[in-house]
Each structure stands twice: as structure tokens, then as C-alpha cells.
Amino acid sequence: MVVTIYSSLGSEKQNRIFQFVLLSLHAYMAQVAVERMRGLKMEERQVFPLPLTSFVAVTAYQNPAITKMKVQNNPYARAFKEELRQHG
């Protein structure tokens, strides 16, 4: 699973796209880090965890009924829906 984060802080020249590879069945939580810089040297750093953003990355289900339910309710799972029709 790949997560893409778009940063739009600062000028357009500073906009960046960050991508992270997540491991299945691992827990993650977003954090915001604020750094005070003097030139190229970091003077201070504060990290603010965001507990309401915590999640477990899941890329596969062991229970076929759960897989079927997830595919039926995911508008982006077109290929999986075709596979379910073919194999039951």
C-alpha cells in the first residue's frame, strides 16, 4: 500500500509530494512536526501526534466473506468485482 501526501505550505516552488510504503497489518498514526530554523540549522522541533488519525494498513483479508463485502462496497474495486463474478 502506498500513501501519498500533498504539502501545499509555503510558495508553489516549495510544494512537494511525499509517498510512503505501508506494511500490511501494521499500525500507523500521523504526526505534525514543526521546526524552527535559523538558516540551515534547526533550533527547535516540536512533534504533535494526531491520535484520531491512527489506522492499521490492511491489504489482504483472511476471511472470504469480508473480502467480498469490501469489494462490493468499494467503487474503485472494478477488477476485483469482475474476478468475483467469474469465480463465484
Residue 3 and residue 65: Cα distance in Å, rounded?
26
Residue 51 and residue 68 share a domain: no
In whole angstroms, give the CA distance from residue 59 to residue 50.
23
Strand partners, 36: 44
Which structural domain range is residue 18 located in? 1-57
pTM beyond 0.85, yes or no? no
Alpha-carbon distance of 13 to 26, in angstroms, equals: 34
Q: Which pLDDT belongs to residue 84? A: 63
Q: What pLDDT shows up at residue 58?
A: 77
Domain count, the chain: 2
Contact in structure between 7 and 18 (CB atoms under 8 Å): yes
pLDDT at 4: 57
- Name the residue type at position 75: P
Residue by residue, pLDDT tens for the chain (88 residues) are 555 565 555 555 555 667 778 888 889 998 888 888 888 888 898 989 999 999 888 777 778 887 788 778 877 776 666 666 666 5
- Do 66 and 34 share a structural domain? no
